Amino acid sequence: MKIPFFNNKQSEESFHYPEDNTLEHIAIIMDGNGRWAGKRGMPRAAGHKEGVSTVVKIVKVAVKCKVKVLTLYTFSTENWKRPKPEIDFILRLPKEFIYTYLPDLISNNVRIEAIGDMKNLPAYTREAVQYAIDRTRNNDGLQLNIALNYGSRHEILHAMKEMLAEINNGELSLDELDEQKFSRYLYTAGMKDPDLLIRTGGEKRLSNFLLWQLAYTEFWFTEVLWPDFSENDFLHALEEYRKRKRRYGGI
């Protein structure tokens, strides 16, 4: 499979891609862009821009590994606390990423979706993401979820409000409600919960990301900052996952 929009320093033939991948859904907290730039005496924006290059590399590996869903924590509801110039730069990156790489994403059968409260994002961000969603709607390969203005507590509250509205309207009975039905009100409705969560940058917390969905997910943390996160780092995370036994509360 040729994926022309990836120009790796290391030949892809040198990587080992598992043939029997059982990971359907991988979620990633892409942490460390600002620190990567700071260590080099560069503005934080340079780290975010370099982080886009890492996104491109990791999408390639996920395609090669036949991952079905890849969810990337791109901009959280808490990120609005950052300086306005940094926020503006981050929220322009989806447009740059999509218009640069969309033709090759389409040719590689990648389908783009977004999760989060999109209505409060700038029009240029919403329009770019919606354009990508529309153009890739018929693809049935890797589903790339971009989590934008996403916060899990906000998601759960939003789901509860929608659920209660249906109960009040007589469309749903409390007796019918269970975990499976509640999941239908989440942004990830219809998706399998993540098998593996990867967080770069050395922190070991969830940062309000997919709190409901990660109940039985395996976690893998690394000190590597996101712009330095390589194809081999990703494959190492997958290899570590395969060594674990998922018991889901059983023996």
Task: Say whether 82 counts as a known binding-site residue.
Answer: yes
C-alpha span between 248 and 241 (Å, rounded): 15
In sequence order, the β-bridge partners of residue 113 are 145
Q: Is 80 assigned to a binding site?
A: yes
Cβ neighbours for 82, distance < 8 A, ≥ 6 positions apart: 90
Annotated ligand binding at 199? The verdict is yes
Burial of 187 (0-12, 13-18, 19+ CB in 10 A): buried
Catalytic hit among 79, 108, 145, 149? 79
Q: Is 220 annotated as a binding residue?
A: no
Q: Is 79 a catalytic residue?
A: yes
Active-site residue, selected from the candidate residues 7, 21, 31, 178? 31
Establish whether 218 is an annotated binding residue.
yes
Is 206 assigned a ligand-binding role in the annotation? yes
Residue 32 marked ligand-binding: yes
Query: How many CA atoms are closer than 13 Å to the CA of 62, on its beta-carbon side?
Result: 30
Of 231, 242, 235, 236, the closest CA to residue 6 belongs to 231
User: Cβ(213)–Cβ(24) under 8 Å?
Assistant: no
36 labeled binding residue: yes
> Which amino acid is it at 54?
T
**Residue numbers annotated as active site:** 31, 79
Annotated binding site for Mg(2+): 31, 218
Binding-site residues for substrate sit at: 32-36, 44, 48, 76-78, 80, 82, 199, 205-207
Q: Which residues are annotated as a binding site?
A: 31-36, 44, 48, 76-78, 80, 82, 199, 205-207, 218
